[in-house]
Chain A
Amino acid sequence: MHEMAIVQSMLDIALRAGEDAGAKRIRTVRVKMGEYSDVVPVIMREYFAVAAKGTICEGAEIEIARIPVTMRCRACGWEGRVDRRRIVCGGCGGIALTLLTGREFFVESLEAE
């Protein structure tokens, strides 16, 4: 249910950027989202459709590109993709890892008319 607060922020960002650029209508909102996130895309799209009614974003598609979880091992220097349910170094099996990607969550661009 926390998706509503997030969708409102997404919509505000899209409206502001769209209006600044003089857009009449937003067709697509492109979002980048790390896999280390429990925001549900389907719910986000449904909420967005409702929240955007009557704005230049009405009917806009939400395109979500997921970014995999990658980490760096502080022991052996290994870098790579990690399963978020089993966080271990793919090189030495160590657990001293630093998150590199996977927590991103931002509006990347808009496709507008």
Chain B
Amino acid sequence: MEIKVMHQIMEWNEDVSDQVKATLAQHQICMINVMGSPGAGKTSLIVALIKALRSEYRIGVIEGDIAGQIDAETIDALGIPVVQLDTDGACHIEAESVRHMLPMFSLEDLDVLIVENIGNLVCPAEFNIGEAFRVALLSVPEGDDKVHKYPLMFATSDAVVMHKYDMLPYFEFDDGRVEADARGVNPGVTVFRVSSRTGEGMDGLLAYLRARIDAVRAEQAGTKEENP
């Protein structure tokens, strides 16, 4: 016999992602999902963003790692609330993990929550975690073919950051190709060329983030007034 089912396979994650979104909206917290390969410089960029934005926003961080807590200690040293999410081998963060993490923060004291996803260009792209928007990093030493090889990561991101841009003279890296490939899979994407070490390109990225964060939080405030 045939049994009709019609059941969404990702529903378990989507439902929880919506719950996380609702909790964050209540507290007007803009959550940013930062994704990229191991070694793309996610932690370094997050540290640079915290230093630049901490006078304007109250920032918290969820550090996703398969094992260890080196990155969390780096953020903790800045005096920023950070929770380590040790996935114990899993290659991505799911919405459920984020839902468990939220009570560990004092949510009324946060404006922005940055999630450093697991270093991986494939799996994290499939899972919404309740984020307001996604930033994908691709560092110059990784090579300019990565958007072509891992399209979903870049297709589902709002911004692509070509990171370690100060290394450009030392590598065969065609940044025009990366930008064209990224627009090919994601016409609306915003592309940045950034070195968090030298500060090159940070101004543009910061202006973009400020505008996005403010827009997200204004929308959350609006929704809250409609449904108090």
Contacts and interface: CB of A to CB of B under 8 A. Distances in A.
A55 interface: no
Contacts of B4: 108-109
Interface string B177-192: 0000101111110000
Interface string A31-53: 10000111100000000000000
B1 A105 contact: no
Given A18-B3, A23-B1, A106 B91 contact: no
Contacts of A10: 9
Contacts of A95: 183, 187-188
Main secondary structure of the interface of B (DSSP, over half): mixed
Nearest to B180: A86
B51 interface: no
Contacts, number: 94
Contacts of A31: 9
Taking residues whose C-beta sits less than 8 angstroms from the other chain, chain B's interface range is 20 to 34
23 contacts: A1-B90, A1-B91, A2-B126, A2-B127, A13-B7, A13-B9, A21-B3, A38-B152, A39-B126, A84-B155, A85-B184, A87-B185, A87-B186, A87-B187, A96-B187, A106-B5, A107-B5, A108-B4, A108-B5, A109-B5, A110-B3, A110-B5, A111-B1
Interface of A: 1-2, 5-6, 9-10, 13-14, 17-18, 21, 23, 31, 36-39, 84-88, 95-97, 105-113
